[in-house]
Chain A
Amino acid sequence: MTQTIARQGMTRRQLLSRTVAAGAAAMVLGTGFIAAPDAAWAYETTKLKPETFATLVQMARDIYPHDRIPTENYVEAVKGYDSDDAAAEIEAGIAALDAAAQGAGFANYLDAGWEADRVKLLRGMEQSAFFQKIRGGLVTGLYNQKAVWPLFGYEGESFSKGGYINRGFDDINWL
């Protein structure tokens, strides 16, 4: 089963020693793994090419960029596409994105090192079914991860804590 193998299995040195390609948010490893440059997380693709998955992760961050959300949450948000059902469509979509990047003078999407350049490429394809599928999926895939809620200050479930009647429902002090 596909899984994020964050912080396990390999040391940073081992990961780095196996790197054969690098993206902005992730490094593609020769073994089918991609990983964070600092080895905070790693992911083994099963159906998608690792380069494709790394591009998808970067695309996800460029669509909904939150500077305080670590990349592993973007990985989590899109890893469902690394499946038999979705792989062909994703490979085709990322190929189109890379083609658009080449048209703009980059080797591929990840080669566009500045966010502004990548966003320009995405704006050019935002009406496409592929873009809308990825964007739509992220709305729940990213923002419904409980792990990201604290980064927005959102506290989630409160019934088990007795609600906020004694925990600051009216504690505003700056008005």
Chain B
Amino acid sequence: MVAKFDLNDDSVVVIVGSGAGGGVLSNELAQKGVKVVTLEAGGRYLPEDYINDEWDSFGQLAWLDPRTTSGDWRVAKDFSGLPAWIVKAVGGTTIHWAGASLRFQEHEWKAASTYGPVPGANLLDWPIDSAEMAPWYDKAEEKLGVTRTGDRPGLPGNNNFKVLEKGAKAIGYKEVHTGRMAINSVERDDRNSCQQTGFCFQGCKWGAKWSAAYTEIPRGEATGNLEVRDHCHVTKINHNDKGQIVSVTYIDKEGKEQTQKARLVCVAGNTIESPRLLLNSASSMFPNGLANSSGQVGRNYMRHVTGSVYATFDKPVRMWRGTTMAGIVQDEARHDPSRGFVGGYELETLALGIPFMAAFLDPGSWGREFTTALDSYENMAGLWIVGEDMPQETNRVTLNTAVKDKFGLPVPDVHFSDHPNDVAMRKHAYAQGRKIYEAVGATRVLPTPPYPSTHNLGTNRMSEDPRLGVVNKWGQTHDISNLFISDGSQFTTGAAENPTLTIVALAIRQADHIASEIEKGAL
């Protein structure tokens, strides 16, 4: 009894996007009796459709619409048309994510006041804090079934983790474990337990990893209050002469332009598409784009300080076996400026198959320096750095009017350059990663540059002061009361943690707020 709503039904909430933000919001609102139409640009893929093959899966799931890049980040040179490695599908990037589910640390909600002035950084405290978010994190961890929270046991460690753990402990790290993961360590919530298959990035064929694609979406649809329209790409959000949102325009599965009326619109198209949609919706009343009186729409693009360290040994590791992100070192996540930078970083295991290792180990490199590293693939262990990067106004998503997508709309240009704090943090993290692996006998250690972004944050940031950000503490835009942002683009700062758990917690909290405001007649 999946709902079907009329295009002229202006009582519905329209949600753009169905990932960690939009997918969770869709289900949460539907469960509360709110009528929802969710418009998703991608198609529907379920565990039986996912492919244990890196490039084939990439072709199936990745968001490959044209995009451009600029700035001095290496991605702009090596992957100029692919700033981000994210998913275009019902369920969004929750199909691809590795499952790491970490709460922000208390001080990370207050980056500006904790870190003090950082030249060139556009730091700001969030208008919410750790105490405010604690109950919503509880709900999010329960929803995702996060291991090592509640009564849920941790996952067993694979070979890649064991190498990391031994090396990390050898150099004195204490907070080393198999992570807090949205991957079932035991059967739970009608989903399998982890079978250590690998290919977490390609969609979990066991459904052991939480994804909105096979939890939130079907459960929301089962209420009869949610209609998800796939292959529907929203091109414009429309307002009336009072500046209130009235509808969205989209291109449907058949390529026909449609307009869906709405009581309010929640944008959750990821940190690149969400500001793009607001900017592409510019009108005579809002010539700089919707909700952009602050000028902050598209700015403060963050992607985390990332990078990988791969190490080879004289004996096999076979890191690809089992959970991709199989464990974590958290000792460096603290804020400790004596290290030469503000904020902190996590170290998490990561494994790539041979096809992606060849593409990402050292893009553009060739010759024996490169191929001898791959020759030791079987003996390789690896980790990924996830650290807090500095928001900078000049790191931003803009419209590239010189390049149009298939609908004739300007594509997003993603401009990014590292802040000196980012550079210092990455250098420190590379060195610590090297020490970890050398402590267990690595014969060679290689620093790998950041991959196309999987964590995309900050381009519609949350602020107390309407002049400094795009949305208030509910994700409601400062300028337009019936326009909300529901994805990672609301992040005021990025913290050191993988963002999905926080996106989910914010979406659950936002759904609660919207439903109660609707009930009160305020929305």
Contact = CB atoms under 8 A, between A and B. Distances in A.
A61 to B, nearest CB: 10
B43 interface: no
Interface string A138-175: 01101110001100111111111011110111111011
B155 to A, nearest CB: 10
A65 interface: yes
A135 interface: yes
Contacts of B400: none
Contacts of A156: 52-53, 353
A170 B371 contact: no
A171 B318 CA distance: 9
A169 B322 contact: yes
A73 to B, nearest CB: 13
B95 to A, nearest CB: 15
Most A CB within 10 A of own CB, among B166, B206, B321, B366: B366
Contacts of B158: 164, 169-170
A175 B170 CA distance: 12
B320 interface: yes
A169 B353 CA distance: 15
Most B CB within 10 A of own CB, among A160, A169, A174: A169
A143 B355 CA distance: 5
Contacts of A78: none
Contacts of B364: 135
Interface string A60-92: 000111101000000000000000000000000
Interface string B178-197: 00000000000000001111
B193 to A, nearest CB: 9
A170 B358 contact: no
Contacts of B366: 63-64, 126, 135
Contacts of B368: 65
A165 B55 contact: no
Interface string B320-358: 111000000000000000000000000000000111011
A93 B136 CA distance: 60
A156 B194 CA distance: 18
Interface residues of B, number: 43
Interface string B188-227: 0000001111110000011000000000000000000000
A170 B159 contact: yes
A119 interface: yes
Contacts, number: 115
Nearest to B378: A153
B367 interface: yes
Contacts of A148: 354
B375 A152 contact: yes
B374 interface: yes
Nearest to A171: B159
Chain A interface, DSSP helix/strand/loop, else mixed: loop
A66 B320 contact: no
B199 A174 contact: no
A154 B353 CA distance: 7
A89 B321 CA distance: 42
Nearest to A115: B368
B378 A159 contact: no
Nearest to B165: A175
Nearest to B317: A172
B375 A164 contact: no
Contacts of B321: 155, 158, 164, 167-169
A170 to B, nearest CB: 5
B120 interface: no
A64 B354 CA distance: 14
Given A170-B159, A170-B162, A175-B440, A154 B359 contact: no
A168 B318 contact: yes
B159 A144 contact: no
A154 B378 CA distance: 7
B354 A152 contact: yes
Contacts of A154: 320, 353-354, 377-378
B156 interface: yes
B374 A152 contact: yes
Contacts of A152: 354, 374-375, 377-378
Nearest to A173: B315
Given A155-B320, A172-B317, A144 B440 contact: no
A139 B359 contact: yes
B33 interface: no
B302 to A, nearest CB: 28
B197 A66 contact: no
A46 B54 CA distance: 31
B374 A66 contact: yes
B359 A172 contact: no
Nearest to B379: A153
Interface in B403-450: 440
Contacts of B378: 152-154
Contacts of A175: 162-163, 166, 440
A164 B163 contact: no
B370 A163 contact: no
A128 B322 CA distance: 41
Contacts of A139: 358-359
B127 interface: no
B367 A170 contact: no
B157 interface: yes
B316 interface: yes
A159 B52 CA distance: 7
Interface of A: 63-66, 68, 119, 126, 135, 139-140, 142-144, 148-149, 152-160, 162-165, 167-172, 174-175
By Cβ-Cβ distance, the 4 closest A-B pairs, closest first, are A153-B378, A163-B197, A163-B195, A169-B322
Given A153-B318, A170-B322, A172-B317, 15 more contacts: A65-B368, A66-B371, A140-B359, A143-B355, A152-B374, A154-B377, A154-B378, A155-B320, A155-B321, A159-B197, A159-B199, A162-B195, A163-B195, A164-B196, A169-B159
9 contacts: A66-B375, A143-B359, A154-B378, A156-B52, A157-B52, A162-B195, A162-B197, A164-B322, A165-B196
